[in-house]
Chain A
Amino acid sequence: MASSSSSLPSMEFDFDEKPHVLAVDDSLIDRKVIERLLINSTCRVTTAENGKRALEYLGLADGQHPSHSDLKVNMIITDYSMPGMTGYELLKRIKESPTMKEIPVVVVSSENIPTRINQCMEGGAQEFLLKPLQLSDATKLRCHIKKLNN
């Protein structure tokens, strides 16, 4: 189930409007931490516990047709190691979607494996960060979102 910290649907992007981040991680602890990190950096956060739920939320799951909804996601952060679908596989699905491919995707992992990092960067990831995430990472991400949306 994807859960949202705010029930307001986004309309058109407004400078003063908080950026909306979709955070995907199978660990509840990590979802809580990343949510708090992002909310403290003035983002609105929706969390999903795996790739399948994330795709459903984005309207990209098998059987769903691309929606013309007002869904506005400014960034997606996903854990790499998840059961079912890895963060890399999720990244590829997002980048293959005509509606969602422009959304920056950040991959996070507890393991510092160069081949994994390269794979994600070549797959179109905006950035690859090591877990556990810290306040400085959230600040970095916030800057990314700001830059990309200006």
Chain B
Amino acid sequence: MGRLFVVTLDGSIYSCKHCKTHLALSDDIISKAFHCRHGKAYLFDKVVNVTVGEKEERMMITGMHTVVDIFCVGCGSIVGWKYESAHEKGQKYKEGKFILERFKVLGPDGSMYVLGQEVQVGGSDDADDA
């Protein structure tokens, strides 16, 4: 494809676990109370250096959503998903926002996430905060 173009961020940065590409700032976290198959996930307002996949309808704990998977541009690994649209009114706030799975990213201090006991929350991919 040619030379990679990446955006560099300034501040407390979450980066891809495999290739260290900058993904998001901790200032852009909206909620830390999401869950996915691999444990915790955070809802971000803005994420960079990701490319999107195909739209799909997915049933989550909070209802039906249209999501696209997002992939790191550096290594191509899947890092989370983006909410394109929510079918229920109460979930509309998520539209246009991104989920980064904590397991797939390194924290601002470079720390990795170790799978805890909250793994295997049925087959669904997200839960909501209260």
A binds B: no
